[in-house]
């Protein structure tokens, strides 16, 4: 039986066409058949969806997040991860390879994709899964994987998700990877400079008595990586940008014509080291939250396009994992179900960013970083989109989250913005 949805008088946003308009939208069997100011011929069997006060936007694309499965299923299974992505409006999810075992062989890629197809209920609505293939064996940064063999698998590209400490290995990887034509994502962090730091070095790390991680732990490694990119010419995506100086380095690299894109995480846009006075272990991140000037530079970087994309870097941990002192807590927080509403409320509703800028950073550009066609809302295109209510409020709790983990600083708090429906094209 044909499935038909009619969305009446909804605000349609599309960063691909740079359009922001009110329209009726008709969807039949997963295809947008018409977008018009007013649609008068509506199939009798159509499911009617009221668009008043709602926003219809392209499906969200997350470049990198973490799965608990395989190896740490109490934190997150693939099924719960995909359900969390669906609830948050994500239609494409990139999964980092630092699972146990790591995604460092074609057989692991195939196993993950087969597991993704397992859920029967609403399987068509679950996000499409894009595993990253590990650059190094076990994603440990020591010895490169069989890159050419892994490139033949259905991977999004190559990444470890962890910082590679050997610059010679990084250079060799970029040399070998260039002819393979796959996206490459690298995280810049000099662990020697970081030492035992748990908070970005500055006035707030001193005030709160937390061991400082200097900005140079990011920027020294980033500068070295950019020199490798300049020498090899291999395009690279720069993950987890977190400092003002890092934004400057990326801007300069782009002005030099280096083939780089960059992303920061949504948490680094919303919090800074100034917020660590409560020692909330859910604000223990890697890289650590920047100082206020870092946060301001990242926000401006997204606004101007120097920072191409916002990643969620969803990192689930159990209650027991995080119920320790701040310095001992494992880094990371969840975010797939929370990011759209909180980013919209913080930056769009208050007028700092246009809605199209947010969509570009969390949908259009991430797809472009993968070399994929971005989601768009146009007639005769697959329905890959999200119906979103920017003013609906809900309370974040283990009962309202699809994720198995609830490690977030918003736990127990009411937030604005909720996804009402997500359309995902079948694979």
Distance of CA 269 to the CA centre of its chain: 13
The token duo for 275 is 């917020």
Can you name the residues that pair with 95 across neighbouring β-strands?
Answer: 65, 131
Give me Rg for the CA atoms of the chain.
21
Distance of CA 246 to the CA centre of its chain: 19
End-to-end CA distance of the chain: 20
Can you name the residues that pair with 128 across neighbouring β-strands?
Answer: 92
Q: Is residue 17 within 8 Å of residue 378, measured between CB atoms?
A: yes
Active-site option among 24, 313, 352, 389 = 313
CA distance readout (Å), 154 to 10, 108, 157: 36, 11, 9
Distance of CA 118 to the CA centre of its chain: 23
Annotation marks residue 352 as catalytic: no
Distance of CA 358 to the CA centre of its chain: 13
Residues 6+ apart with CB under 8 A from 240: 187, 188, 263, 264, 265, 268, 286, 287, 311, 313
Catalytic residue ranges: 313
């Amino acid at each position: 039986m044909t499935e038909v949805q009619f969305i009446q008088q909804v605000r349609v946003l599309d960063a691909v066409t740079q359009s922001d308009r009110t329209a009726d939208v008709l969807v039949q069997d997963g295809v947008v058949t018409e977008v018009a100011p007013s649609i008068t011929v509506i199939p009798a069997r159509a499911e009617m969806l009221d668009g008043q006060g709602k926003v219809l936007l392209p499906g969200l694309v997350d470049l990198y997040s973490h799965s608990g499965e395989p190896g740490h299923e109490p934190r997150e299974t693939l099924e719960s991860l995909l359900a969390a992505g669906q609830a948050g409006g994500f239609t494409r999810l990139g999964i980092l390879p630092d699972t146990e075992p790591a995604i460092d062989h074609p057989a692991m890629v195939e196993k993950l994709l087969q597991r993704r197809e397992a859920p029967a209920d609403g399987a068509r609505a679950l996000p499409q899964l894009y595993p990253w293939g590990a650059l190094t064996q076990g994603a440990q940064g020591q010895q490169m994987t069989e890159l050419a063999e892994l490139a033949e698998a259905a991977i999004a590209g190559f990444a470890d998700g962890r910082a590679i400490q050997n610059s010679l290995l990084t250079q060799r990887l970029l040399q070998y990877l260039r002819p393979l034509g796959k996206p490459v994502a690298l995280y810049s962090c000099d662990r020697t400079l970081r030492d035992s730091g748990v908070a970005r070095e500055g006035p707030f790390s001193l005030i709160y008595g937390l061991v400082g991680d200097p900005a140079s732990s990011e920027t020294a490694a980033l500068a070295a990586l950019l020199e490798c990119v300049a020498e090899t010419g291999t395009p690279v995506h720069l993950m987890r940008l977190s400092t003002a100086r890092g934004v400057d380095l990326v801007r300069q690299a782009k002005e030099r014509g280096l083939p780089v894109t960059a992303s920061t995480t949504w948490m680094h846009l919303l919090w800074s080291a100034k917020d660590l006075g409560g020692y909330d272990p859910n604000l223990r991140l890697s890289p650590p939250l920047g100082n206020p000037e870092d946060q301001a530079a990242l926000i401006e970087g997204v606004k101007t396009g120097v920072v191409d994309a916002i990643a969620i870097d969803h990192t689930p941990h159990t209650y027991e994992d995080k119920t320790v002192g701040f310095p001992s807590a494992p880094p990371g927080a969840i975010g797939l179900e929370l990011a759209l509403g909180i980013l919209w409320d913080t930056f769009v509703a208050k007028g700092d960013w246009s809605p199209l800028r947010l969509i570009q950073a969390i949908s259009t550009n991430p797809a472009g970083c993968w070399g994929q066609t971005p989601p768009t809302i146009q007639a005769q295109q697959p329905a890959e989109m999200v119906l979103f209510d920017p003013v609906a409020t809900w309370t974040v709790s283990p009962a309202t989250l699809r994720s198995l983990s609830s490690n977030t600083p918003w736990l127990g708090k009411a937030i604005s913005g909720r996804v009402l429906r997500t359309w995902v094209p079948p694979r």
